[in-house]
Amino acid sequence: MDLGLQNKVYVVTGATRGLGFAAARELAADGARVVVSGRSQASVDEAVAGLGGEGHAHGVVADNADPTAAARLVEAAQEAFGRLDGVLISVGGPKAGPVVLAEDDTWRAAFESVFLGALRIARAAAAELGEGGVIGFVLSGSVREPISGLGVSNGLRPGLAMAAKSLADELGPRGIRVVGLLPARIDTDRVRELDELSGDAEAARARASAAIPLGRYGTAEEFGKVAAFLLSPAASYLTGVMVPVDGGALRGL
């Protein structure tokens, strides 16, 4: 199936590794051009090279928590490729730990990055996008069910999902779609770090895999393919949806 991505332009944040990079890679593989962001010049340069270099990808050093990041990313897409068709807002998860041990500063930092930073980018993109544009949020299965040991993430991501649903209502009349992805146990550095917190990463992975109907962790490539489809014109009648990419781990409808 032709996803209609040829020469489309997308901004993907947090795209120097993990899920963000996987999504950018699948978009680029189908002919899209991507602006990728990360927190260091070295990681951004490496990501751009891995996506085919200049002409296929453009890198911006930016932290989602920085109030100037949203405008800079949108401007970079216009300057590098002359258009913007969508954004995928991916940000690393906040510090692991229970709610009772999370200090105020931890909550504030996570809110700036995970929540407010994401909304700034969505607002900046919405001001630039036309009919057929799309705003995607990489969220988490914690939107629907809390994940043990991720108290701060559990507190913030459901609210961001509801903001995304509200955006879908607000932007729909302009022909702009808003979608969310809910990854769970995808085999990334972040998930491996969480497994290691248990003290026995191998046993933690075995337990988690046993609770997944497909019996295994997902791959970043599998996530990236779902993200590329949702952002593409092929998904033109999907908006306001939260799509689990979790091997069936979420049991609710």
CA–CA distance, 163 with 119 (Å, rounded to integer): 8
Q: Is residue 3 part of a domain?
A: no
Domain assignment of residue 157, yes or no:
yes
Residue 250 backbone dihedrals phi, psi, to 5 degrees: -75, 125
Neighbours of 79 (CB within 10 A): 10
In a domain, 79, yes or no: yes
Amino acid 193: pLDDT: 83
Using left for φ > 0, alpha for ψ between -120 and 50, and beta otherwise, residue 219 falls in beta
CA 229, CA 23: separation in Å to the nearest integer?
10
Tell me how far apart the alpha carbons of residues 129 and 83 are, in angstroms, rounded to a whole number. 9
Q: Kindly report the pTM of this predicted structure.
A: 0.95
The domain tally of the chain equals 1
CA atoms within 13 A on the CB side of 173: 3
Please give the pLDDT value at position 15: 95
Which residue's entry shows tokens 């890198």? 59
Output the pLDDT for position 200: 87
Give CA separation, 242 vs 22, 24, 143, 229, in Å: 19, 19, 9, 14
Residue 236 included in any domain: yes
Q: How many CB atoms lie within 10 A of CB 169?
A: 11
* CATH at residue 86: 3.40.50.720
Name the 3-class secondary structure at 10: strand
If residue 130 lies in a helix (H) or strand (E), which one and from where to where? none
| pLDDT at residue 190, as a whole number | 81
**Which stretches in the chain have pLDDT values below 70?**
none
Distance of CA 56 to the CA centre of its chain: 20
Predicted pLDDT of residue 199: 84
Residue 190 resides in a domain: yes
Tokens of 202: 């191998």
| 1: in domain | no
Q: Which of 128, 231, 137, 138 is nearest to 174 (CA)?
A: 128
pLDDT number for residue 63? 94
Which residues lie across from 38 on neighbouring strands? 61
Q: Which domain holds residue 154?
A: 9-242
Q: What is the pLDDT of residue 196?
A: 87
* Residue 37 lies inside a defined structural domain of this protein: yes
Predicted pLDDT at 46 = 97
Does 2 reside within a domain?
no
